[in-house]
Structure 1
Amino acid sequence: MSVVARNIGVEIGGRVLLRDVGLTARAGEVTAIVGPNGSGKTTLMRVLTGELVPDAGQVTLGGQPVGPGHAAQMATRRGVLPQASHLAFSFTVDEVVRIGQLAGLAAGDPGLGARALAAVGLAGFGPRRYQALSGGEQQRVQLARVLCQVWQPMRAGAANWLFLDEPVASLDIGHQLGIMQVARDYADGGGGVITVMHDLNLTAMFADRVMLLAGGAVMAEGTPGEVLCDEVLSAAYGCRLRLNTPPLGAVPYLLPQAAGAVG
């Protein structure tokens, strides 16, 4: 099962946000969407999840069209973690996580919420008030909610999907690694993961495929080793970047002191 986007175009207020963007994400892989601020990453994620109807092109999940009219049908196959989540009422953590569970197929599993919270490093947080948590803790509660919705990476021989928009943006390094490992394990279990990322080092460590957006268009697509290279990244981000490779590994990494402003 794959998520396929073809010839996606989005224009809002006379500004072109996406231009002829295509993407194929496969089950069993972590697909990362990267690029500078304003490159169209979140817009593309909104199109992929059916929140935003593109002006051109189409998205399918497992061959079925994705769009606002198919939200209920897709809820049992894919969970979506937005860039930011705002709750107006004083819910407990358990209640927030339960929202995701009720949207999926495991509403009758009484222990699922606790297992999902433990998976994101929040064991025992269930009775706490969501609004009393830190921003990073709230982000992890939201991920637990999404996991409850599609807990099993595979169902009836078909893959379930996680769509994660900047899942580690407000987290410390330890929790960043933990959350990315959750995504990695989900893909290794046969599910599909599409995630918007800013951290290129984490992208290199955990992604199977990388799409680099710049100016609303695809600048490069391929494995981390193919996309994360000096010339491509320097052009996309508008500064001089030099990738490094550890002597005993093949995963490239960036260091701040290796970067420089374009002069």
Structure 2
Amino acid sequence: MSLEARNITVRLGRRAVLSNIAFSAQARALTAIVGPNGSGKTTLLRALVGEIPATGSVRLNGEEVADAKPWALAARRGVLPQAASLAFPFSVIEVITMGLEAGRHAARRTLPQQALQQVGLSGYEDRFYQELSGGEQQRVQLARVLCQVWEPMLDGAPSWLFLDEPVASLDIGHQLGIMRIAADYAARGGGVVAVMHDLNLTAMFADAVCLLKDGAVQAQGKPQEVLTNGILTRAYDCPLRVNAAPPSDIPFLLPQAAGRI
């Protein structure tokens, strides 16, 4: 089972934000979408999940996303946006229960607590969402999404996580924790598609990488095939070298050793 997108084009007025994108992701893998600012990463993710109008075809587990009922999509894929604002003072447990009710596990009333524990927020059930830090809110939203598609495999088919910059507002320890959750979800049979900015975390955790620039795919493949000197230099318009240490007087932090501990 897989995600297959063909000829995806998204327009804003006369301007094509995405142009004839071909994209694929496999279950049991974490696929990262990377690229410079404004390259179309979030737009592609939103097109893949059917949130914005797009031409072309997106098939999830063999079914056309455009033809699927909303409840059917909600049962198979959870979407974590970059940010989510709430107009009313919901408690943390109320926010997470929204995901529980949207998925196929509404009868499992202990899942919100399990999800909170997984994202490191046990005991936050009665806190008001608006009183949390940005990083804590992001982890609450991830717990909500996890409750929606708790089982990576269901009825013989994979469930999917679509994550838009899931670690953007987190410290390094929580970044590693969230990426481990995503990698574990894929290892247990699910599919994960994540928009990423941090190329080191991408190299550490991604099984496949899609690099965008100016609304077009520049390279797709394994991290070792995409994250190269030439490809990254052209994509980011600045000289980049892979596996090269900076001058010795500049602190240089390599978190790779902690990645899969």
TM-score over 0.5 for the alignment?
yes
1:3, 1:60 within 8 Å by CA — same for their partners in 2? yes
Letter of the aligned partner of 1:3 in structure 2? Answer: L
Aligned residue number for residue 172 of structure 2: 173
Letter of the aligned partner of 2:38 in structure 1? Answer: G
Aligned residue number for residue 249 of structure 1: none
Match of 1:83, SS state, is coil
Q: Which runs of 5+ in 2 are unaligned?
A: 246-251, 255-261
For the residues of structure 1 that align with 2:239 and 2:147, how far apart are their CA atoms?
42
Aligned residue number for residue 261 of structure 1: none
The aligned length equals 248
Aligned residue number for residue 230 of structure 1: 229
Q: Which runs of 5+ in 1 are unaligned?
A: 247-253, 257-263
For the residues of structure 2 that align with 1:146 and 1:12, how far apart are their CA atoms?
29
Structure 2 counterparts to residues 64-75 of structure 1, below 5 A: 64-67=63-66, 70-75=69-74
Distance apart, 1:67 and its partner CA: 2.9
For the residues of structure 1 that align with 2:89 and 2:177, how far apart are their CA atoms?
27
Aligned residue number for residue 25 of structure 1: 25
Structure 2 counterparts to residues 147-186 of structure 1, below 5 A: 147-186=146-185
Distance 1:2 1:140, change over 3 A: same
For the residues of structure 1 that align with 2:69 and 2:31, how far apart are their CA atoms?
23
Match of 2:23, SS state, is strand
Aligned residue number for residue 53 of structure 2: 53
Aligned residue number for residue 63 of structure 1: 62
1:175-212 C-alpha deviation (Å, 9 max, x unpaired): 00000000000000000000000000000000000000
Distance apart, 1:51 and its partner CA: 0.4
Aligned residue number for residue 127 of structure 1: 126
Distance 1:68 1:97, change over 3 A: farther
Alignment RMSD (CA, Å): 1.6
TM-score (norm 1): 0.91
For the residues of structure 1 that align with 2:253 and 2:237, how far apart are their CA atoms?
16
For the residues of structure 1 that align with 2:203 and 2:83, how far apart are their CA atoms?
24
For the residues of structure 1 that align with 2:18 and 2:236, how far apart are their CA atoms?
17
